[in-house]
Amino acid sequence: MSALALTIEQEEIVAAVAEFVDRDVIPHASELEHRDEFPTSMVETMIGMGLFGTTIPEEYGGLGLGLDTYALIIVELSRGWTTLPGILNGSFIAAWMIRNHGTDEQKERFLPKLASCEIRASFSMTEPHAGSDVQSIRATAERTADGYAINGQKMWVTNGWRSGIIMLLTKTDPTTDPPHKGMTGFIIEKEPETEPPGLTIPMPGLKKLGYKGVESTELVFDNFQAPAEWILGGEAGIGSGFQYFMSGIEVGRVNVAARGVGVAKAALDDSLRYVQEREAFGKKIGHHQAVQLMLAKMATRAEAARLLTVQAAQRKASGERADLEAGMAKYFATEAAQENALDAMRIHGGYGYSLEYRPERYYRDAPLLMIGEGSNEIQQLIIARRLLEQHRI
C-alpha cells in the first residue's frame, strides 16, 4: 500500500475515530487537561471501539490490524488530545512485546485481557539516573528460592498507578560485560490503583508542564517478590531483556511519531480556521503574505511527518528492520509538532497565549514527544549510524 493512499477499511476506521475525536474529545479536552483529570468517558469509548486491541490478533480478541492502521488511529486521537494515545501506548507496547517475545502461556493469559482492556499496561525502563543510557539501570532482580527479589527505583512510568501489568526491565546479572547481556524483562502483575507488598507508587504522580490527564509515576521496589513465570519469555528470556525492551521502544516510536503528526495537524487546523475569522488592516489575516508563509510551512511539516510515520509503520509491520525509518519519523514528526505549535501561537497572537484557546496546550504537550521513547538527539545518532552501516566504503 502506498503511503499516499488508504484502503477502504482504513478509511472507515480513521473516519470513525475522527468522528469520535470531533464529537467527544476536542470540545472537552482542554477543560480536562487544565484540571489534570483522567478522561474516563473518553477511554470507555475507546474501549468500546476496540482500540486497545487494534494490533492484537483476532485469535486473542483483538482487531488484528496492521501497525500502519494503528498509526493512523493515533494521529486522529492526538489531533484531539495527545494524552489519549499515551494511555493506549503502554498496552500497545506490552501486547507487542508479549506477542513477539512471550511464552505461549503469557500470550494466552495477557493478550485477551489487553485486547478487551480488562487490564491496562505500563512500560518501565527509565530510572532517575538512567534515561537514554539504558545499560546503566540499577534495578536488580536477584534469584531466590521462590523466584526473584526485585529492588530499585523507576521513573516516568505512564499509567503506573492504573495499570494491571508492568513491563519491567531489570538487571539479573549486574556483573555481565557488556551490561545489556545481564538484563531481564518481567511482566509484573498487580491490582490497578493498589500497592502490592514491596512496591510503592507515590501518588499523586509527578507534576508536568503538559501531558496531563494521565499519571506519570515513580515505582519503588523494595524486596518485591516476583515468581519466575513472570519473566518475559520464560527461562529463555533471562538475559534478553534489553533486546526485548528495545523492540518495544521501536514500535513505541511509531506511536510517538504519530502523536507528533496529530499535534502538528491540530495546530494547522486551528490556524487555518482562525486566519479566516480574524481581521487586521482591513482584511482577513489569512490574506497577509507573512501569515501565508507560516501556513505553508506548517502544512508541509504536517504532511511530511505523516508520510514518514506511515512509511515507518509499514516497514515495521512487514517484519523488516525499521530503526532508521522509525528514528526519522519520530525525530521529524515531533519537531514538526513543536514548530507548528509555536507557529499556531504566533498566528493566534494574544489568544494563542490564552487558556481559552488550544495552541497553548499544543505548545505544552509537544516537548514531551521530543523526549519520550528516546530523545531526538538519540534519534539523530541512530539515523546517522544506520546510514553509515548502509553506505560503507
Indicate which residues carry an active-site annotation.
373
Counting every residue written for the chain, the total comes to 393
**In this structure, what are the phi and psi dihedrals at residue 244, rounded to the nearest 5 degrees?**
-65, -45
Rounded to whole angstroms, the Cα distance separating 369 from 216 reads 14
What 3-state DSSP class applies to 232?
coil
164 in Cβ contact with 191 (< 8 Å): yes
- Is 271 in contact with 348 (CB distance < 8 Å)? yes
Q: What is the DSSP letter of 127?
A: B
Q: How far apart are CA 343 and CA 360, in angstroms?
A: 11
At 110, the amino acid letter reads F
The x, y and z cell numbers of residue 317, run together, are 509491520
DSSP state of 231: B
**DSSP state letters, 245-285:** HHHHHHHHHHHHHHHHHHHHHHHHHHHHHHHTT-EETTEEG
Cell of 15: 473516519
Query: By the 8 A CB rule, do 69 and 10 touch?
Result: yes
From the centroid of its chain, how far is CA 207? 18
Q: Is 342 helix (H, G, I), strand (E, B) or coil?
A: helix
Which residue type does 62 have?
G
